[in-house]
Amino acid sequence: MTNGRTDLLQGTLELLILKTLSRDPMHGYGIAQRIHQSVDDVLKIEDGSLYPALYRMEERGWIESEWGTSENNRRAKFYKLTRAGRKQLQGQSANWDRISKAVTKILQTA
Amino acid sequence: MFEDLLRRLNGEHTRSEVEEELRFHLDLLTEEQQQRHASLAEAKAGARKQFGNFEQVRDECVAISRRNRPYLRALKIFFNLIFVGGVLVHVFSFDYHVTRVGGLLIFTAILSHLLLYMRQLSPGSVAKPQASTSLMLSEPADKHFVFYDQDRRTPVERVIFKE
């Protein structure tokens, strides 16, 4: 625990992105905004760090991208979940649930 | 069209597309900061801070875009061609043995697609996240919380080996 910050588990950002995209296709800025709103500033996410995660997820086939027009009439790249992505979201959500329950259980036994 | 093809082969297309995407994000962040009554210079600085290292993110995205994807796409097109060829042979052939070859081609194409799909699901198929993928708790829940105690034990070890 250095500089008042705590690294979270790897894959957490991917889970947040998958969950965010499970509702609607969005561009990177939209995804960042939605995540910032959802986590109420508890999690600190540099917006730029979303993009390597998005590109890796697209590489794995969890999401697909398509160029479109944004709400301010600019060309923007929109991402949407694939079927493999939905499956991944289910799996990762279940995993997260198991881990958090296990940690809570250990903490409650103290 | 030929120039576009050359640019794609050189990877310039990928780089300019990544830059366009990241620039869009940065511009919207700048607008957001300006709406909070910041000057343009302050807004740009705030946007940069919120975004993180632009060049590092761009280079990482370009590198990810360039690896595997053209090869994967080519493979998928190749498997699709095998599938279509198999169907055509299977439907239009009158010879039993040739029909079986068609069936074999269809089977091979489906199996290959399945293997590609499984590769995409496999977490080990892609390189681990780089340093730019950072996600942190903004503040510790307890500022006086000690991860390691004087015996270098973690909180879990302290609970398990409680004396």
What is the Cβ-side half-sphere exposure of residue A29, based on CA atoms within 13 angstroms? 21
Pick from B52, B56, B159: CB nearest A109: B159
* Average pLDDT of the segment spanning A71-82: 94
State mean pLDDT over A14-24.
94
Which of A81-85, B8-12, B88-92 bottoms out in mean pLDDT, i.e. has the lowest? Answer: B8-12
More confident residue, B11 or A41: A41
pLDDT at B125: 45
Q: Mutate which of A13, A26, A35, A49 to test chain B, going by most B C-beta atoms within 10 A?
A: A49
Query: What pLDDT does residue B134 have?
Result: 57
- Looking at beta carbons, which residues of chain B come within 8 Å of A39? none
Chain A residues with CB within 8 Å of chain B CB: 1, 4-8, 10, 12-13, 16, 27-29, 32, 41-49, 51-53, 55-56, 59-62, 70, 72, 74-77, 84, 87-88, 106-107, 109-110
**DSSP characters for chain B?**
-HHHHHHHHHTHHHHHHHHHHHHHHHHHHHHHHHHTT--HHHHHHHHHHHH--HHHHHHHHHHHHHSSHHHHHHHHHHHHHHHHHHHHHHHH--SHHHHHHHHHHHHHHHHHHHHHHHHHH-GGGSPPP-TT--EEESS-S-TT--SS-TT---HHHHHHT--
**pLDDT the model gives residue A70:** 92
CB atoms A5 and B137 under 8 Å: yes
A94 pLDDT exceeds 70?
yes
**Predicted TM-score (pTM) of this structure:** 0.65
- This complex has an ipTM of 0.86
Answer yes or no: do A13 and B140 touch at CB < 8 A. no
| A74·B24 Cβ contact <8 A | yes
Residue A19: its pLDDT value, please? 95
Q: Which of B54, B135, B138 sits opposite A12 (nearest CB)?
A: B135
Stronger pLDDT, B74 or B29, i.e. the higher one: B29
- Given pLDDT bands bounded at 50, 70 and 90, which one contains residue A1? very low
Dump pLDDT digits (tens) for B121-141.
554 444 444 444 556 655 544
- Is the pLDDT assigned to residue B81 strictly greater than 90? yes
